[in-house]
Amino acid sequence: MLRKTLFSVVCLILLVLVVWVAGGLPRFSRNAAPVVLIPPGTDNGRLFQEHARRVPGGAAILLLGPGHQALPAAQALSIAGIPFSVTHELEDALVHRLVFIPTDDRSLRPGPVVLARLKVFVEQGGTLVLQTPPDLLGTLTGIYAENPRRTRHRLGFRSAADEGFKYLDEPEESDIHLASRRTPEGPWTHGLMGSSGASPIAFFSDENQAAILRRRHGAGAVYTLGFDLKDLMTRPRSRRHFDANRCLTGEFEPAGDVMPLVLRAWHESGPKPWVRLRSLPGSLRGLIALTHNIGWGSGLDAAVDFSKTEKVKGIQATYFVQTKLAEDFLKGQLFDAGFTKVLQGIVADGHELASHSVAHGADLHLNALGKPDTPAEDYSPKVAESGHTRGATLLGEMGVSRRLIEGATGAKVLAFRSAFRRDPDFLDEGLKSTGYQWDSSLTACRTLTHFPFFLPHLRSMDLESGILELPMSWDDENRPEGALDFSKVLALLKKVSANESPFVWLVHPSLAPAKKMALDRILNSLPDGMAIWPLGRTARFWAARHGTRFSYASSGGQEVRLNIEAPAGRYDLSFELSGPASSCMLAAGSKRTGVEVSCSGRLAVLKESDGAPVELIVRF
């Protein structure tokens, strides 16, 4: 028995050695960056394939360890509009102007050659961003000790302490929550202790310990984060943020938007020229995605009135429709011939239809999964006085509603909104299996971001689903018949638009004079440069932006050649330039039908793309 055990152990050791020699395991060298194999079928693998090409004017996510995750940094850089690559090759990373190195609790132990190369990169004007490495890398970071804890709840930025904080101009941005005070333990954080050459520029406010240290070397700087970017980007999107949200709805909650703003400013603080992809189309300074819910809380007469009024104003909106099939405790219009006639009229007025479930039950997140192809005639859920929905399934609420609307109107239904802002664990899987492409069930307060994002797969923190979520910045779910607060809506719109985020607005149709007057007053008081779109158009723009790849090269600082690969269509993809353009034109090989560009001031706009690569020459 002992011989068999020893033989098995020896065979296992030999197998590991063979795999290691063949390159199947990461190798660590004192003088070279480790080789990190990226497994296919993961978001690391996807990002490595989609962003493998160098983009010297942009950023690099440098994976130096097998457990390092590219997704949080990729999410932040994407929102910031910074082109980026994902690589495990040190020399590939160092041709970029900003390098982000995610770390975990495993040792890096880079050799002196690697450290020297990183230091030279910074001295020559590069920006290096590190999550707290367990080795501290004191010669590079200036850190001599760190204090790990899970009891820190707030993160504060000293706005005047660094050029990276110039966009944090609201109180809700300069001080954010990592966890609720009601939660004894939140995410792991590291209080940083540095030498005299390392400057603390952000603090964990409840303990006054440094959360970000900056050390300058030559023309550049090293920034060390005492927190994991995952906890500000991926965790809130998964709704696993230790109750860090400071509101439920209708308030400014940018905790998940802060680091994209900081990375954007660090990118812009480097040498000029630079280019970034704006998150608003064309020259717009704000974008409202206007939506309404029809069903519980709003009647058909009010929906018709809103639809006609918006048509006169030249506004298109999205109407989320509850397809109620049976009388129950929740009062509402049944999905009958009269209802479908109203929906047909709304479509004729130029609006978009989406699904708002069948039963509108508050227990949607507790429903059984069900089957995606359940026939409508076999599905009749009812909400009891207790609040329990009898006969409901998650896939039934999604699939039956969608097919009923499409069958009655001929409109294509691609968006879903749950009742009472519910977010089941299987939300993304249910939407995919029933044919949806985007969702607007969540609020910005709940997800800590006003920007669209892809729902995490089953609320995980390392894999995206492909379903685009457009969180609501303002909704009147709690008071569907109540009046709108004119000043609060406009104040929130101003803050959201300043960060270039779409403002997703839910207004329940109502015949109440106070609500109609407030809505008219808001629509008539919008700032210049503001557009109102239906949710679907907003989602298509965002998906096109997400699918756009670009890079640029400069000739002596007076000219930039901007190379763009964008999905085919007319999306008004807008690129901000570091300075005003004196002229711009398409390169000879890009002048073709289906391609249109324009330039004005500091904006270059790809108005229409044919899906093939485009080269734009911009002169300053």
For the cut 90, the answer to whether the pLDDT of residue 144 exceeds it is yes
Which pLDDT tens digit goes with each residue over 25-72? 343 344 444 444 455 557 888 998 999 999 988 999 999 887 789 999
pLDDT digits (tens, 9 = 90+) for 424-471: 999 999 999 999 999 999 999 999 999 999 999 999 998 999 999 999
Residue 105 gets which letter from DSSP?
S
- Average per-residue pLDDT for the chain: 91
Whether the predicted pLDDT of 296 surpasses 80:
no
* pLDDT tens digits along 325-350: 988 888 788 999 999 999 999 999 99
Sequence-distant (6+) residues with CB within 8 A of 28 are 34, 109
Rounded average pLDDT over 532-554: 97
| Number of other CB atoms surrounding residue 245 within 10 Å | 22
> CA 219 → CA 270, 283, 575, distances in Å?
9, 33, 26
Confidence of residue 482 (pLDDT cuts 50, 70, 90): confident
Q: What digits encode the pLDDT tens for the residues 80-95?
A: 999 999 999 999 999 9
Cα–Cα distance measured from residue 202 to residue 161, given in angstroms and rounded to the nearest whole number? 8
Which pairing describes strands 143-149 and 189-194: parallel, antiparallel, or unpaired? antiparallel
Q: What is the pLDDT of residues 102-126, one digit of tens each?
A: 987 777 778 889 999 999 999 999 9
Confidence of residue 6 (pLDDT cuts 50, 70, 90): low
Which of 468, 459, 464 minimizes the C-alpha distance to 439?
468
At 201-210, the pLDDT tens digits run 999 999 899 9
Residues 6+ apart with CB under 8 A from 6: none
**Percent of the chain having pLDDT more than 90?**
79
pLDDT above 50: residue 389: yes
Contact between 349 and 307 (Cβ < 8 Å): yes
What's the pLDDT score for residue 323?
Answer: 96
Confidence bin at 21 (pLDDT 50/70/90): very low
Determine the average pLDDT of the residues in 481-497. 90
Residue 30 has a pLDDT of: 41
> Is 135 in contact with 118 (CB distance < 8 Å)?
no
Global pTM reads 0.92
What pLDDT does residue 29 have? 42
Burial class (CB in 10 A: 0-12, 13-18, 19+), 598: middle
Q: Torsion over CA of 189, 157, 542 and 48, rounded to 10 degrees? A: -40
Q: How confident is the model at residue 3 (pLDDT cuts 50, 70, 90)?
A: low
Q: In 3D, which of 547, 610, 544 has the Cα closest to residue 280?
A: 544
Distances from the Cα of 512 to the Cα of 108, 215, 483, angstroms:
63, 59, 8
Q: How far apart are CA 208 and CA 257, in angstroms?
A: 23
DSSP string, 282-346: TT-SEEEEEEEEEBTTB-HHHHHHHHHHHHHTT---EEEE----S--SS----SSHHHHHHHHHH
- Could you tell me what percent of the chain has a pLDDT over 70? 93
Predicted local confidence at residue 5, as pLDDT: 54
pLDDT of the residue at 211: 97
Q: pLDDT band at residue 11, thresholds of 50, 70 and 90?
A: low
237-241, 324-328, 408-412, 466-470: least confident range: 324-328
Q: What's the confidence (pLDDT) of residue 26?
A: 40
